Amino acid sequence: MEEEHYCSDPDRVRIIDGVPEALTRLKNAGYCLVIITNQSGIGRGYFQVSDYEAVHERLITLLGPGVISASYYCPDAPGIPSTRRKPEPGMVLEAARDLDLDLTRSWFVGDKAVDVECGRRAGARSILVRTGHGQSEDPAGAEFVAKDFASAAELILRTSDASP
């Protein structure tokens, strides 16, 4: 979704152009699509879990029914020891266990250096997208850099093994 600083209002959710279509192409190619997100606004007391859940529900509605297989969030604020807060791979490892994912054949796409690092620590390939925070993030460690999610999806579809 478009960058919205500590988004706690579902009416402020805006989808980046091309994302629903790109997700659908990946899903149709056999990929299991998972959202992994830090939500430190909860831990910082900026909003409640119920606010996050309302925003997440709106996001899922806008992306399309059945596109996202699972979502994992970490409410921990920075500075609190956590195995789940990105760049730690805890949420990715949970998803791999829950969904029987092969992380060596998986991709982690995000717009922050912590996303790239999280994917790498989990054993997945990482793509930094240049939308949102990605416009100014250091691409070090990313296997690829893409201008947006739609471009990242096309790269995944071109680069991946015959069966995801």
- Asked whether the predicted pLDDT for residue 23 surpasses 70, the reply is yes
Structure tokens at 150: 């739609």
Mean local confidence (pLDDT), 50-61: 97
The answer to whether 125 and 143 have CB atoms below 8 angstroms apart is yes
pTM (global) more than 0.85: yes
Before 87, cis peptide (omega within 30)?
yes
Name the more confident of 27 and 136: 27
Give the CA count within 13 Å in the CB-facing half-sphere of 161: 10
- DSSP letter, residue 50: H
- List domains and CATH numbers for the chain: 10-159 (3.40.50.1000)
pLDDT band at 140 (very low <50, low <70, confident <90, very high): confident
- Asked whether the predicted pLDDT for residue 14 surpasses 80, the reply is yes
pLDDT in tens, 116-129: 999 999 999 999 99
